[in-house]
Amino acid sequence: MWLIGNSVTPTAHAVFTFLDSFNLRAQLPQRGHGKQGRDNLRLLGLAVLATADGDVPLLHHTYAGNHHDSVMFHSVAEQLLARCRAFSREVDQITLVFDKGNNSEENLRLVDHSSLHFVGSLVPTHHPDLLAIPRQDMRRLDRSQLPAVWAYRRQKPVFGVSRTVVVTFNQKLFCAQRKTLTREINQRLRKLERLQATWSAVQPEIFYWRTASGQEVDVVLEDRAGKVTGVEIKAAATLSANDVRSLQALADMVGKNWLRGVVLYTGTEVVPFSSNIHGIPISRLWLVGRG
Q: Which residue, of 98, 121, 144, is where some domain finishes?
A: 121
Per-residue buried b or exposed e for 77-86, using 16+ beta carbons within 10 Å of the residue's own CB: beebbebbee
What residues have CB less than 8 Å from 57, skipping those under 6 apart?
A: 48, 49, 50
Please indicate, yes or no, if residue 33 is contained in any of the structural domains. Answer: yes
Q: Is residue 191 part of a domain?
A: no
Question: Rounded CA gap, 221 and 201, in Å?
Answer: 14
Closest by CA to 226, choosing from 273, 259, 274, 260, is 259
217 closest CA partner among 236, 257, 190, 191: 190
Q: Would residue 54 be called left, alpha or beta, if left means φ above 0 and alpha means ψ between -120 and 50 degrees?
A: left
Over residues 213-267, the pLDDT tens digits come to 889 999 999 988 899 999 999 988 899 999 999 999 999 999 999 999 999 999 9
Q: Are residues 6 and 110 in the same domain?
A: yes
> Alpha-carbon torsion 81, 85, 161, 158, what sign?
negative
Q: Are residues 115 and 7 both part of a single domain?
A: yes
Residue 154 lies in a domain: no
Residues forming a β-bridge with 45? 14, 63
pLDDT of residue 106: 81
- Residue 28 belongs to some domain of the structure: yes
- Contact (Cβ atoms closer than 8 angstroms) between residue 32 and residue 15: no
What is the residue-wise DSSP string for 136-174?
A: GG-EE--TTT-TTEEEEEEEEEETTEEEEEEEEEEHHHH
Q: How many domains does the chain have?
A: 2
172 assigned to some structural domain: no
Task: Report the CATH number at residue 266.
Answer: 3.40.1350
pLDDT band at 291 (very low <50, low <70, confident <90, very high): very low
Task: Report yes or no on 234 lying in a domain.
Answer: yes
Domain that holds residue 211: 200-286
Give SS3 for 64. strand
Looking at the fold, whether 115 and 204 belong to one and the same domain comes out as no
Show which of 104, 121, 138 is a domain's final residue: 121
pTM value is: 0.51
Q: Are residues 8 and 113 in the same domain?
A: yes
137 is a domain residue: no
Q: Is residue 162 part of a domain?
A: no
End position of a domain, from candidates 121, 142, 172 = 121
pLDDT tens, position by position, 12-64: 556 667 777 677 777 777 776 666 666 667 877 777 776 655 666 777 777 77
69-87 vs 105-112: helix crossing angle, rounded to 10: 10
Report the CATH number that the domain containing residue 60 is assigned in CATH.
3.30.420
Other Cβ atoms less than 10 A from the Cβ of 181: the count is 11
pLDDT digits (tens, 9 = 90+) for 115-153: 777 888 888 888 899 999 998 999 999 888 888 899 999
